[in-house]
Amino acid sequence: RLDPQLQLHCSDEIANLCAEEAAAQEQTGQVEECLKVNLLKIKTELCKKEVLNMLKESKADIFVDPVLHTACALDIKHHCAAITPGRGRQMSCLMEALEDKRVRLQPECKKRLNDRIEMWSYAAKVAPADGFSDLAMQVMTSPSKNYILSVISGSICILFLIGLMCGRITKRVTRELKDR
């Protein structure tokens, strides 16, 4: 099944770009893979953001990306068996194995890993906000918006209170001049 947010925001792109994969209704992540491959063709900003989030999640945990996990299952067992899953440790192990010339990965795994590296570099370029309005939009759509806004508000309040308590330090005015 598709992620509900992905289904909601990407229904048009799924119909246009990934109709074959959606019709197959396989549980192997083919629709997600199609969206990742067609990332440059996605026009809806919310859909693009969801696909970028999916890419970020897959970088942290290989189990989130079923296509990559299936392609690299043997290599994970062979090269990364001692590595505990989670926090991107197995993904890092695979990346190190890919860079190591002495290690031979399965061709499908090697291809998928190279594709992911390319997608991750594109996602890193696309992700940053271009201006204040984009930054504000990212904060407001973030699941952690309450925390971010609380930290910003708290920082401003602390700065105001410090200014109120300390007064003007750079150019002190005597009490006689203040009371005139």
One pLDDT digit (tens) per residue for the chain, 180 residues: 567 777 778 888 888 888 777 777 666 677 787 888 777 788 888 888 888 877 777 777 777 777 778 888 888 888 777 877 777 788 888 888 878 778 788 888 888 888 887 777 776 666 666 678 877 877 887 778 899 899 999 999 999 988 877 766 666 667 676 666
Query: Residue 141: left if φ>0, alpha if ψ -120 to 50, beta else—which one?
Result: alpha
**pLDDT reported for residue 168:** 66
pTM tops 0.75, yes or no: no
**pLDDT reported for residue 152:** 94
Closest of 6, 1, 49 to residue 27, by C-alpha? 1
Q: CA angle, 39 as apex, 69 and 5 as ends, to 5°?
A: 75
**pLDDT reported for residue 156:** 96
**pLDDT reported for residue 173:** 67
Backbone phi and psi for residue 28, each to the nearest 5 degrees, phi listed first: -100, 10
